[in-house]
Amino acid sequence: MTGTMRVPRSRGAFSGLMLVLLGLWGGLIPFVGPYADFAFSPDEPWHVTDDRLLLSVAPAAATVLGGLIVLAVANRAAAILGAWLAVLGGAWFVVGGPLSVLWNADGVGTPLGGEARQVAEQLGFFTGLGTMIVFFAALALGRFAVVGVREARLAEELAEHDARREEPWEAHPPAGSRPEGVTQPMARPQGRYALRPDQAPPAEPAEPADHRVAGEPGAGRA
């Protein structure tokens, strides 16, 4: 039903907000991470390379855009489209680095620091970040794919209302209105103005059942 395509904006509020925040993190951390010694080489703030744009900024932009769509729209189809866009962004965070060897990319560098920090950087920049994005995008997909009982009931009421509006005017005339040319019988006077039995109009004589004219065949027959 068409009415079930509308959903409350609050349905995707949490998932959309998390997708926006995760997308902003993924797009900014390669450039601001060096301020906190949390980066890949070269550890220079705001150092822009083609690989960083392709492997970090591009999926981050897709995630933020998808999150904004999930957060703002009230249409089921548009929200599902935004969630799928965020899924693609999160998946690219996970598989973009390994796939970049296909076009001989230099990559985003190597993680800095000790083993624990290197693991945290790998998770925070790519694999862990992408997994969380896919999780919240899938959560949004699940919520928008289900039609609630209240939404189905509201859609039925809207369909009935539209059906009544499309019916001819004669089927549901407004109260107090009558079609032209239709008269109503006059009400008999009541109370002091009512007619007494002796004032009742005389009844019209009934026509005889057999009225023949002289000269017609069978007029003189009994």
Rounded to the nearest 5°, which phi and psi values hold at 106?
-75, -20
Confidence of residue 1 (pLDDT cuts 50, 70, 90): very low
For tokens 């009415």, the residue is 3
Q: What is the pLDDT of residue 107?
A: 78
pLDDT computed for residue 101 by the predictor: 85
Total-model pTM: 0.67
> Is residue 7 over pLDDT 70?
yes
Average pLDDT value for the chain: 79
Position of tokens 């009512």? 194
pLDDT of the residue at 180: 56
Find all residues with CB under 8 Å of 85, minimum gap 6, and list them: 62, 63, 65, 66, 69
For residues 181 and 77, the model is more confident at: 77
Report pLDDT for 199.
58
Supply the pLDDT for residue 65. 97
CA terminus-to-terminus distance, the chain? 78
Q: What is the Rg, in whole angstroms, of the alpha carbon atoms belonging to the chain?
A: 41
For 188-219, give one letter per residue: b (16+ CB within 10 A) or e.
eeeeeeeeeeeeeeeeeeeeeeeeeeeeeeee
12-55 residue pLDDT tens: 899 999 999 999 999 999 999 999 999 998 888 999 999 999 99
d(CA 38, CA 11): 35
**Does the N-terminal peptide bond of residue 111 adopt cis geometry, omega within 30 degrees of 0?**
no
Q: Assess whether pLDDT exceeds 50 at residue 222.
A: no
Q: What is the pLDDT of residues 88-136, one digit of tens each?
A: 999 999 999 989 888 887 778 889 989 999 999 999 999 999 999 999 9
Answer whether residue 155 shows pLDDT above 70.
no
Taking residues 196-210, report their average pLDDT. Answer: 57
Average pLDDT over residues 67-88: 93
Provide the pLDDT for residue 105.
Answer: 78
pLDDT number for residue 217: 58
